Amino acid sequence: MKIIKIGRSSSNDIVVNDVLVTRNSHCQIILDDRGIYRLIDNSLNGTFVNGIRMGKGAEVRLNQSDIIRIGNTTLPWQTYFKNTGGTEIDTRYFSPIDYQEPKKGNGFGIAALCCGVVGMFFGGFILGTLAIIFGGVALNRKEKSKGLGITGLVLGIIAVAITIIVLIFLGTMWSFLLG
């Protein structure tokens, strides 16, 4: 029987650097002498197997195709036992799994794009400025689609530039007509 303890601290067999993962033994994967894999959840936050949350103390039999997620991290658990014939743990695959901040939605990118497009067609200095602000926020927040934020940002810059050029032109024409 082989037992792999998974958690956030270095005392675990598999270290997962994710703030939602319990420090000491978030869960365990057990390979018994018959070649059957089982998972035991030891956490308060739960362990997800194929999207279904397990509670503390729950135990489930694993199939090779099962997907395990703890916190925001999907575990490549099958690799922990590869190339050993299922009799021992393959330590070549024991490396920390880095936590990655989940990407945010697209709200600011969409707002930037809308303000930029409307600002372009209706010559809006204010809308162009809003597009620049929203585009910058979208890029800073690392939203899912950076393209929306970048496009809105560029359209905002163009809208502001066009508005300034039109105002300079109108000011020049006005002074020419009066002068």
DSSP letter, residue 44: S
Radius of gyration in angstroms for the set of CA atoms belonging to the chain, rounded to a whole number: 27
Contact in structure between 120 and 158 (CB atoms under 8 Å): yes
Q: pLDDT tens, 62-74?
A: 988 899 999 888 8
pLDDT category, 145, cuts 50, 70, 90? confident
Strand positions, DSSP E, the chain = 2-7, 14-17, 27-31, 37-41, 47-49, 52-54, 59-62, 68-70, 73-75, 97-98
Instruction: List, in order, residues 6 or more apart from 178 with CB less than 8 Å away.
Output: none
Q: Specify whether the CB–CB gap between 107 and 144 falls below 8 A.
A: no
Looking at residue 61, what is its pLDDT? 93
Q: Is 161 helix (H, G, I), strand (E, B) or coil?
A: helix
CA 88-64-81 angle, to 5 degrees, is 15
Position 101 scores a pLDDT of 53
What pLDDT digit, counting tens, does each position of 89-141 carry?
444 444 444 445 556 677 888 888 899 888 888 778 888 898 899 988 888 87
Q: For residues 66 and 72, what is the distance between their CA atoms, to the nearest angstrom?
A: 16
Residue 177's pLDDT is 85
Q: Which of the four pLDDT bands, split at 50, 70 and 90, describes residue 19?
A: confident
- Where does the pLDDT of residue 18 fall: very low under 50, low under 70, confident under 90, or very high at 90 and above? confident
Mean pLDDT throughout 167-178?
88
